[in-house]
């Protein structure tokens, strides 16, 4: 044989046959294997002259011009092998009953030797699909080049073509995915038993073709025996996938092929649920006619009619109701079809359900009605449909009003509608709902103030909302947020500016804790009745004060203020001012407070704080008696009248200068004091 001759030549002197010295240690089988493997990687050429000779005697070295190369030898071998294989394939095509693999030819012994060599070297599973070949296969599939793919099928071993990749895909999966109809036909003819081959996700070629809406491939696979009832890892069959993708033609094809219309996925979601979700009434009819059950529930207790209302499929909803669907169907959380339609603002579906007498007052397990969720999500038209039919007693028993939810989400138009319809603006949250909020809010007004919604707050206050019902007064929230307009609005309607915080009791108004750095906010509070005298009451007086321990949380929030007084049950003003956070503002704050007080005394701690600032002596002198009589009269008049009635003094027949003085108009105050000799 040529390989044996090459081996003998390897033993000859190096100067004559140096091309073959690298192969001298190899056996005939190894040389043969090398020739076969390399022949697959290089272009094939015609047989060389060397192929005509059986051997060259070792005693007569050939002339240099007739020296064969190893490349020529394996080119010859590859050409002969391919010619024989093509002849064999042609014979099989003419006579289908002849098995090409069983026919004998000159290369049977070579194949046996190649198989033995692979076994010896542990390469029996060696993939023979080279990178170049793999690229050719992919190109043929992506371009649906049936002719090129046919040539590949004729030259590449079946074991290589059908070897799965890392995700378990074979070429039949790929042609189905890319809708390569021509390549699909060739593969199905060559390997019909692989039509239902699954990948690592248990996806068959049919499932992949359906998922990609490849109708031609779907029909081809079904005709070749593709099973539409095989499910993937998620429990989804070809029928389910067809409904999910909303393709009527494919659904018709898989149903006619015996697809089960009732088989659910692992979440118990059925093909009918998916078809309803696409709003395709024709697909729904096809499934029902094929035997799908309209009352089947998924793992959440949802029926197909519920899904139709949820996604706004009005035509499907009408069809399912005509079939006898339950219009009051409820999911596991108690939500009804009407609730879901109202939640998503599907007005047409709401009208259909109401016309069929759906129960408007059926609540979820948390007690919410369709009106609650429509108000929360701002669906005005749906709210107007539900209002006349919703029972107010059901609203009260729920523990929360639609007004709360509308105010929380800044649905001003709905807030106005609900107020006009007579909903209680002072309804408080139930304990269960209130405990869901860290600040323990309870009124609708608190929601509006927390959101900074001036319009909603104004409408609520005008409708009679009480600004002093919450555990944490809404005015504290407004001060904390620095919203001067909201503070002014609240105090205009009677908000208590002297409110305290239950989580941090103080001997002075708690609102001061949040505005010490803000002069304008501080003055608004003082003008509207802030108790300035309370800031000068100290249990220690001129005696030595114990040290103050400062503890702060990570948040400077309304109801989690950090300062703690270790020696008293409630924090005093002087202890708060000793906090380095507030001490830089002690001069400004005391100066303003003294304008709204009469005879007061500074405790030793406040005096010490004033000693450390530039204008401290001026503040001390201002606090010493005697106070100007005009100033004492203003303070006393304001106390006697009360800040709630101060705004009505403008309607009395009083001099405008006096009114401006009582309202702390600085220019007018200075004029009067100078005229009285107080300056």
Tens of pLDDT, residues 145-167: 888 888 888 887 777 778 888 89
| pLDDT band, very low/low/confident/very high, at 139 (cuts 50, 70, 90) | confident
pLDDT of 672: 52
What own/partner pairs with CB < 8 Å and gap ≥ 24 does 570-573 have? 570/505, 570/506, 570/507, 571/504, 571/505, 571/506, 571/507, 572/506, 572/507, 572/508, 572/537, 572/538, 572/539, 573/506, 573/507, 573/508, 573/512, 573/534, 573/535, 573/536, 573/537, 573/538
Tokens of 567: 């020696």
Q: Tell me which of 70-84, 332-346, 354-368 is least confident.
A: 70-84
Q: Which residues contact 302 (CB under 8 A, 6 or more apart)?
A: 273, 310, 331
Q: Is the pLDDT of residue 47 over 50?
A: no
pLDDT of 661: 80
Q: Tell me which of 249-253, 533-537, 552-556 is least confident.
A: 552-556
CA distance 112 to 566: 96
- Cβ atoms of 296 and 304 within 8 Å: the answer is yes
What is the mean predicted confidence (pLDDT) over 451-473? Answer: 95
- Cβ atoms of 435 and 474 within 8 Å: the answer is no
Domains in the chain: ranges and CATH? 2-120 (no CATH), 133-226 (1.25.40.20), 228-293 (1.25.40.20), 303-383 (1.25.40.20), 399-489 (1.25.40.20), 497-625 (no CATH), 627-679 (no CATH)
pLDDT of 130: 58
Q: Is the pLDDT of residue 218 over 90?
A: yes
Query: pLDDT tens digits for 504-536?
Result: 888 899 998 888 888 889 888 988 888 888 898
Query: pLDDT tens digits for 620-669?
Result: 888 888 878 887 888 888 888 776 777 777 778 888 888 888 777 765 55
Percent of the chain residues topping a pLDDT of 90: 48
Please state, rounded to an integer, the average pLDDT across all residues of the chain: 80
| pTM value > 0.85 | no
| pLDDT band, very low/low/confident/very high, at 48 (cuts 50, 70, 90) | very low
Q: Is the pLDDT of residue 17 over 50?
A: no
pLDDT of 659: 80
| pLDDT band, very low/low/confident/very high, at 557 (cuts 50, 70, 90) | very low
pLDDT of 58: 37
Q: Is the pLDDT of residue 43 over 70?
A: no
pLDDT of 462: 96
Cα–Cα separations (whole angstroms), residue 571 to 26, 187, 542, 552, 610: 98, 86, 18, 14, 20
- Cβ atoms of 304 and 272 within 8 Å: the answer is yes
Query: pLDDT tens digits for 229-242?
Result: 999 999 999 999 99
H-run or E-run covering 148: helix 146-155
Query: pLDDT tens digits for 100-123?
Result: 444 444 444 454 445 454 444 454
pLDDT of 78: 57
Q: Is the pLDDT of residue 84 over 60?
A: yes
- Cβ atoms of 526 and 594 within 8 Å: the answer is no
Kindly give the residue spans of alpha helices, DSSP state H, lying in 463-549: 474-481, 484-492, 519-527
pLDDT of 366: 93
Q: Is the pLDDT of residue 380 over 90?
A: yes
| pLDDT band, very low/low/confident/very high, at 395 (cuts 50, 70, 90) | very high
- Cβ atoms of 161 and 186 within 8 Å: the answer is no
């Amino acid at each position: 044989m040529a390989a044996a001759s090459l081996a003998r030549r390897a033993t000859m002197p190096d100067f004559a046959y140096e091309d073959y010295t690298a192969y001298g240690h190899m056996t005939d089988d190894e040389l043969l294997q090398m020739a076969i493997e390399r022949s697959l990687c290089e272009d094939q050429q015609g047989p060389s002259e060397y192929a005509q000779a059986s051997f060259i005697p070792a005693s007569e070295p050939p002339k240099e011009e007739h020296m064969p190369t190893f490349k020529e030898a394996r080119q010859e071998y590859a050409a002969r092998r391919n010619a024989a294989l093509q002849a064999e394939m042609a014979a099989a095509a003419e006579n289908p009953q002849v098995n090409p693999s069983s026919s004998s030819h000159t290369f049977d012994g070579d194949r046996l030797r190649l198989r033995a060599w692979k076994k010896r070297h542990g390469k029996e599973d060696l993939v023979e699909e080279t990178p170049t070949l793999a690229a050719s296969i992919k190109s043929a599939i992506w371009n649906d080049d049936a002719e090129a793919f046919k040539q590949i099928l004729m030259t590449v071993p079946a074991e290589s073509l059908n070897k799965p990749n890392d995700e378990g895909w074979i070429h039949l999966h790929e042609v189905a995915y890319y809708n390569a109809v021509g390549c699909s036909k060739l593969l199905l003819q060559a390997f019909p038993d692989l039509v239902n081959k699954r990948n690592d996700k248990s996806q068959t070629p049919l499932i992949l073709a359906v998922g990609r809406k490849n109708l031609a491939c779907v029909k081809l696979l079904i005709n070749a025996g593709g099973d539409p009832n095989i499910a993937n890892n998620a429990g989804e069959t070809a029928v389910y996938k067809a409904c999910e993708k909303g393709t009527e033609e494919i659904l018709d094809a898989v149903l006619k092929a015996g697809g089960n219309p009732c088989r659910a996925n692992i979440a118990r979601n059925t093909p009918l649920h998916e078809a309803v979700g696409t709003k395709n009434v024709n697909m729904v009819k096809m499934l029902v006619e094929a035997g799908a059950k309209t009352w089947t529930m998924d793992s959440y207790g949802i029926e197909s009619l519920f899904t139709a209302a949820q996604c706004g499929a009005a035509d499907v909803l009408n069809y399912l109701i005509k079939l006898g669907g339950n219009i009051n169907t409820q999911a596991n959380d108690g939500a009804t079809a009407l609730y879901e339609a109202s939640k998503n603002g599907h007005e047409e579906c709401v009208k259909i359900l109401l016309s069929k007498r759906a129960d408007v007052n059926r609540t979820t397990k948390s007690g919410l009605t369709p009106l609650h969720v429509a108000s929360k999500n701002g669906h005005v038209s749906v709210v107007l449909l539900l209002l006349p039919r919703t029972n107010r007693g059901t609203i009260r028993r729920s523990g929360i009003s639609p007004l709360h939810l509308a105010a929380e989400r800044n649905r001003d138009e709905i807030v106005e509608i609900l107020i006009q319809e007579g909903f209680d603006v002072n309804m408080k949250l139930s304990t269960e709902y209130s405990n869901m909020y860290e600040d323990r809010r309870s009124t609708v007004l608190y929601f509006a103030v927390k959101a900074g919604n001036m319009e909603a707050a104004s409408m609520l206050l005008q409708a009679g909302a009480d600004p002093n019902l919450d555990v944490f007064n809404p005015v504290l929230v407004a001060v904390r947020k620095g919203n001067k307009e909201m503070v002014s609005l609240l105090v205009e309607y009677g908000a208590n500016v002297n409110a305290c915080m239950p989580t941090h009791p103080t001997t002075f108004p708690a609102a001061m804790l949040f505005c010490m750095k803000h002069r304008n906010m501080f003055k608004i509070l003082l003008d509207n009745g802030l108790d300035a005298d309370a800031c000068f009451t100290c249990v220690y007086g001129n005696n030595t004060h114990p040290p103050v321990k400062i503890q702060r949380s990570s948040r400077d929030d309304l109801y989690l203020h950090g300062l703690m007084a270790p020696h008293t049950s409630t924090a005093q003003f002087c202890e708060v001012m000793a906090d380095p956070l507030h001490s830089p503002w002690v001069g400004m704050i005391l100066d303003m407070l003294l304008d709204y007080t009469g005879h007061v005394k500074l405790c030793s701690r406040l005096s010490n704080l004033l000693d450390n600032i530039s204008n401290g002596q001026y503040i001390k002198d201002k606090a010493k008696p005697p106070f100007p009589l005009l100033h004492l009269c203003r303070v006393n008049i304001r106390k006697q009248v009360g800040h709630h009635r101060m705004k009505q003094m403008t309607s009395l027949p009083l001099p405008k200068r006096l009114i401006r003085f009582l309202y702390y108009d600085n220019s007018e105050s200075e004029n009067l004091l100078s005229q009285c000799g107080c300056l």
